[in-house]
Structure 1
Amino acid sequence: MTKAKILVVEDEAIVAKDLQYRLNKFGYTVPSIASSGEEAINIAIEISPDLVLMDIKLKGSMDGIEAAQEIYKRLDIPVIYLTAYADEKTLQRAKITEPFGYLLKPFKERELQINIEITLIKHGLEKQLKVNKKWLDALLRSISDGVIASDLQELITFMNPVAENLTGWKQEEACGRNSSEVFNIVNAETHNPIESPIIKVLQDGIIVSIPAETILIAKDGAEIPIDDSAAPIKDDKDNITGAVLVFRDITERKRGVEARQKQIEQEQLVMQWEEINQLKNDFLNLVSHELRSPLSNMKMMIQMIQLTTSTEEAQRYLELMEAECDRELELINDLLDLQRLESLSYSVIRPDVLVLQQWLPWVIEPFQIRVQEHQQTLQLNLPPNLPPLFSDGISLERILIELLNNACKYTPAGGDIVLSVSHNSSEAPAKTIITISNSAEIPLIELPRIFEKFYRVPNADIWNYGGSGLGLPIIQKLVEQLQGNIQVESGNGWTTFTLTLIDL
C-alpha cells in the first residue's frame, strides 16, 4: 500500500516536517500535520487517513494517548505511537488504546517503514475479519447454515430449516433419532462412512471438525459437499449437556484464513528480528552523523594539504586534523563510558576517604591557568571543620572535571566560576553538598532536557566549542552510582549545578 494516507501528529514542527519528508520518500502521502490532540481528531474526521503517527506529548489539554483512543473509537483508524517516553505509566496507558506500534525516538527509517507496512497489512486483515464476522452473523440470523443439536445420548433435539433442506429430514421426523442416521456423512472419494463428529464431542468434550472431502448423503440419496464442526453444549457449571453441529460450505473462507495466518506468522518473524536488532540500529542511527562529520572534515583537510605548497598552511591543517581526531576519540570514549554506566552489570565502585580541604584544590588546580587565560575567576569556598567524605574519588573527580570544563567553556571573558561545599548533618544520613556556579544563563525551557543523551542547548555553538552531548548524561549516571543526585538551576545570569552526596 504505497499510496496510503498518513496523518502525522507532532507538536515539534521540525520533527513533523522530517517525518513528512521520510513518509513521502517511502511513497506515502501526508495530506496534513496536527500539533494537538483536538486538531488531530478534527483532521482525522475530515480526511479519513489510513494510519496515524502519534506523538504522546502534545500541545493543549489532550495528549496523544487520549487523541488516539478517540480516533480509533470513532473512525477505526490504526495508530502508531512515535515517542521518546518509555516509562511504565505511559506504556500502561498506551496499552489500553491497543496501538498497532510503539516506536521510541529516535528510530531508523527502515524500522519506521516496516512498522507502517505491518500496521497497514494487519489493520487490513482485521477489517477483513470484522467484515467476515458480520457476514457470518448475517448468515446465522438468516439461518443460512444447517444447525443440528443433540442431547447426551446423541439423539437429535433441534434442526433448523436449512438443516432440514440439506438432510431431507423434517425436524418432527428427526427429533429423537440418532444423529448418525440423520447426519449421514461419507468420504467424497471412497464413500466410506465417517463417524458423526457429535460422538467425538460428547466423548472428549472438545470442538471437532470433519475430515476434508466430506459429503452429506441426504434422505433421498443426494450427495452434498459440506464442511462442518461440532462443539459441546455446556451449562453454567461447565457440564456437557449435549452437542451442536453446524455444517456449511466454507471452502473460500478457509482459504482466506490460511492465507491470513501465513501473513501473520511472517509479520511476527519480522517483528522478532527487528526487536533483536533494535539496540544496534538505534545506536547506529544516533551516532552516525557525529561519527561521519569529523571524518569528512579530516578528509577535506587532507585534500587541502595535498594541494597546498605552504608548509605553514599545511601545519595548520594538520593541527585541525589532530583536533578532529581528538573530538572523534572523545565521542567514542564517551559512548563507551555511557554504555558501561547504563549496563546493569557495571557497578564498579571503589570508595575512599576524601579529605575535601586537600583533595578539591588538587582537582581544580589544572583549571587555574585556563581561567586566567580567558580572564575568568575560579573561586573555591570551603567551610571550616568539613568532615571527610567516604566516596569513589575517581568517579567524583570525573564529575567535577566535567562540570568545571563546561563552566569554563560557557562562561564569558571576565565571568566568574564558584565551587562551594557545605555539609548537612541535621538529617540522616548526613549529606555533603557541592555546587558549581558560573555567570552564564541557560534558558529555563531547556533545563528539563539538559541531561538527555546527545542533547545540546540551542545556539551553544556560538561559543565555538564542540561537544557530543554525552557529558551531562555520563555525570548523571555516575552520580546515581554514588547514590547521590544532581540538579541544575538557572536564572539572574547564573547557572548552578548542585551535587548531593552521602557516605558510601
Structure 2
Amino acid sequence: MANAKILVVEDEAIVAKDLQYRLTKFGYTVPAIASSGEEAIDKAVEISPDLVLMDIRLKGSMDGIEAAQEIYKRLDIPVIYLTAYADENTLERAKITEPFAYLIKPFKERELQTNIEITLTKHGLERQLKVNKKWLDALLRSISDGVIASDMQELITFMNPVAENLTGWKQQEACGRNSSEIFNIANAETHNSIESPIVKVLQDGIIVSLPAETILITKQGGEIPIDDSAAPIKDDQDKITGAVLVFRDITEQKRAIEARQKQSEQEQLVVQWQEINQLKNDFLNLVSHELRSPLSNIKLMIQMIQLSPGTEEAQRYLELMEGECDRELELINDLLDLQRLESSSYPVIAPDALLLQQWLPWVIEPFQIRVQKHQQTLQLNLPSNLPPLFSDGISLERILVELLNNACKYTPAGGEIALSVRYNSSEAPAKTIIITSNSAEIPVTELPRIFDKFYRLPNADIWNQGGSGLGLSIVEKLVKQLQGSIQVESGNGWTTFTVILTDL
C-alpha cells in the first residue's frame, strides 16, 4: 500500500536507518524513528502512522510490548514486531497485544514487505468492519422496532433496547436462553401458546410472519399486542447461521383502528338515520298526498250524493268513489308487498315452465284496451323458436304489469310502447332478455334514483296521474328475487327497461 506512513521503533540507530531505507525503497513514508517505548507513544500520537514496526527489547523502563499495547489501545494502529527473541515467554506476552505479525531477525526484504502489505490490508478491513458494526449497532438500538437475534440452537445472541423494554428481559440475562422463553407469545383471544417464528425460520429457511391477534407475554406477565416477522441470517455461502426477529407494539395502532371503526360506525349510523328520516319524510309526504287526496274526494262525493240521491249524477259519483277506493287499496297493497319483499316474507317463488309465446299475449291483453283509449300503440315482438322459461309466473307477471303500467302512464297520446323478448344461449347460463320500451324520455339526471322507494319523476302529476313511487322499487326487488337483473336507459325520445333472467 504505497504512501503508507510507518513509524519505526528501534533503539539500534544503524538498524533503524536500515529499516527506514528499505521502507522508503518499498514506497512507504517513514516520518519518524523512536528509540524508546515512551518516545514511540509520543510519536505515534503526534504523527498518527498507518503502521508501527516495533522492536521488543528497547532501552528504558518500557519495552516494545508495553509500548505497542498502549499505542493500539489509544490509536488503534496495527503493530508488527521485529525482534531477535523468539522465546516462549516473550512470544506469549506479545500475543496478548494482538500483533499483526511477528518477524524474527534477520528477515528478508520480501518477507517484510509482504507482512506490511497484509497487515495494512487486514487492518483496513478490520477497521471497516468495526465501523460497520458500530453503525449497525447504532441502527438496531435507535429503530423503534424490537430486534432479537438467535443462533442455530434458538439461543438468544442479541436484543436491542426496544426488545428489552417490550419483553422485560435485559440482553445480559436473555443471551444464551431459548428464544421461546424470552419471546413468549400467545393468541390474544384464546391465550393458547404460539410457537416462536424463529423455530420455523431455522427449520425452513423462509421469512415467517405472526398470525393476527398475537400478544407478547412479558417477563412480568403483562400482555402486549404485537406484529412481527422473522427471517434467516445467512453467511456468504448462503448457509443459515441463525435468525432475526423484528417486532413492534401495535397497541396504539389497534386503538387507532378501533377508533376509526367506531367513528365509521357512528358515521354509518348517522347516514342510516338520515336515510330513515328521509324515508319517513317521503312516506309522510306520500301518505299526506296519496291517502288524503282520495279521502277528500270521497268525502266531497258523499256530500254531493246526499244532495241528489238516486240521480245519474249520484251514480257517477259512486263510480268515482269506487275508483278512489281502488287507488287507496292499490297503495296499501304496494306498501305491504314492498314490506314483505324487504323482510323476505314474500310468498316463496314457484318455478314453472312459461311458454312465453302463449303467456305474454295473455299478460298484455288488459293493456290493449287502455292503449287504444289513449291513442297509443302496444307492439309485442317474439322470436318463433323461444324455449320455455323456468321462472315464477306470478312474480314475472307483476314485473311486466308494473313496467307496462308505467309505460302507459308516461307515454303521450299517439306514442308507442313495445315489449320484446330475446334469447341468448351463447354463454352459460342461457339468458332470456325481456325488453319494454316506450316513446317517453326520462332526464338522465333522474335515472340513478328511478328504483328508489317513494321516488317519482318531477312534475309526474302534470304528465299524468302520477303514482305512489313504489312500483319500480317492487319491480327491482322481484327481479332480484328471480335471480335476475334490470337496467334502464333513456335517450333519443325513448325509455327502455331490460330484464335479464335465467332458469331457476
Fold in common (TM above 0.5)? no
The TM-score bracket by the shorter chain reads 0.3 to 0.5
The structure number with the bigger radius of gyration is 2
Q: Tell me the TM-score normalized by structure 1.
A: 0.45
Q: Tell me the TM-score normalized by structure 2.
A: 0.45
